Amino acid sequence: VITIKTGKNVLVKQAIWKEQSRKVALKYIFGKDTEEQHKKLEDEIVRALQNLDDDNLMQLYGVSQAPRMILPDDTSASYYNASPETIPYVDPKIVND
């Protein structure tokens, strides 16, 4: 696991578990219960490992309350400017990139 970006209230980490598994995006909210977040992370790893036919590497991103900091492109800006509570736990915009 490596840190790939840091900033005010932002922590982005990337980890690769297995080759040829799907890409997964997770957001990390500072101040939330760590045990609950670890359980969600574990569930996502298990789910991702069940999809090994995908050509992508599985990459897990921990993102703070500002997920718009890692915009895939300018066209999805309005999606990322929504309140963090309305952004899905697994972000399909990043998963499909």
Residues 11 and 63: beta-carbon distance below 8 Å = yes
Q: How far is CA 18 from the centre of its chain?
A: 16
Distances (CA, A) of 50 to 13, 16, 43, 44: 22, 15, 11, 10
Kindly state the tokens that stand for 58. 């599985």
Q: What tens digit of pLDDT does each residue of 31-79 get?
A: 666 677 667 767 766 666 666 544 433 344 443 333 444 444 444 444 4
Domain boundary assignment for the chain: 2-95
Statement: the pTM of the whole predicted model exceeds 0.85? no
